[in-house]
Amino acid sequence: MAVDMDDFWVFGYGSLMWNPGFAFEDKMTARAFGYRRSLCVRSWVHRGTQERPGLVLGLDRGGSCRGMAFKVALKDKDDVVGYLRERELVTHVYLERTMPVLLADGRRVPALTYIIDRGHTQYAGALSTEDAAATVAVSHGKSGPNTDYVVNTLAHLKEMGIRDHWLEEVATLVERMRL
């Protein structure tokens, strides 16, 4: 299938998948290669505090990640990019990149996405499931408990037919810690 090079796609791997917040013409599952979904961003406001940071998702190097790709009308491109920059670049923990993604129908398209800035002070690094779970289990921010964030993310992924074994293991360990 041919790809119109004038198409504009956005790739989401976290809350953008179920709450994009912008108009789009089409959406489908997609896979980004060379990056994985990870609880690698220290949250100082929404899911933690500076004294006890929580963890939220970032797209970090290594592996691959199934997410959602959204086709945006070219007339809406500037508005969507402006919206995404306001939403994703608040503390500049993410870097805006265009990278190829493989759509569920077999097409490979360039898509705008946000990857973790490994040099940023909020980058938590590649944590083990045990270390991530220990942080998530005790963190709470203005948007609520960090555990709610992980459970909600997994529920939405399940609804979309997307498995994330690493995140599932973190949630299992968190649940054991709460017993």
> pLDDT tens, 129-153?
999 999 999 999 999 999 999 999 9
Distance CA 128, CA 133 (A): 8
d(CA 8, CA 172): 37
Does the domain at 8-178 match CATH 3.40.50.720? Answer given as: no
Q: What is the mean pLDDT of residues 37-60?
A: 95
Among residues 25, 51, 88, 169, the one annotated as catalytic is 88
The residue ranges of every structural domain in the chain are 8-178
pLDDT digits (tens, 9 = 90+) for 121-135: 999 998 999 999 999
Reported confidence tier of residue 32, pLDDT bands at 50, 70, 90: very high
In 3D, which of 14, 58, 53 has the Cα closest to residue 140? 53
| Annotated catalytic residue 51 | no
User: Above 50 in pLDDT, residue 14?
Assistant: yes
Q: What is the mean pLDDT of residues 47-69?
A: 95
Backbone angles phi, psi at 135, to 5 degrees: -70, -50
Q: How confident is the model at residue 4 (pLDDT cuts 50, 70, 90)?
A: low
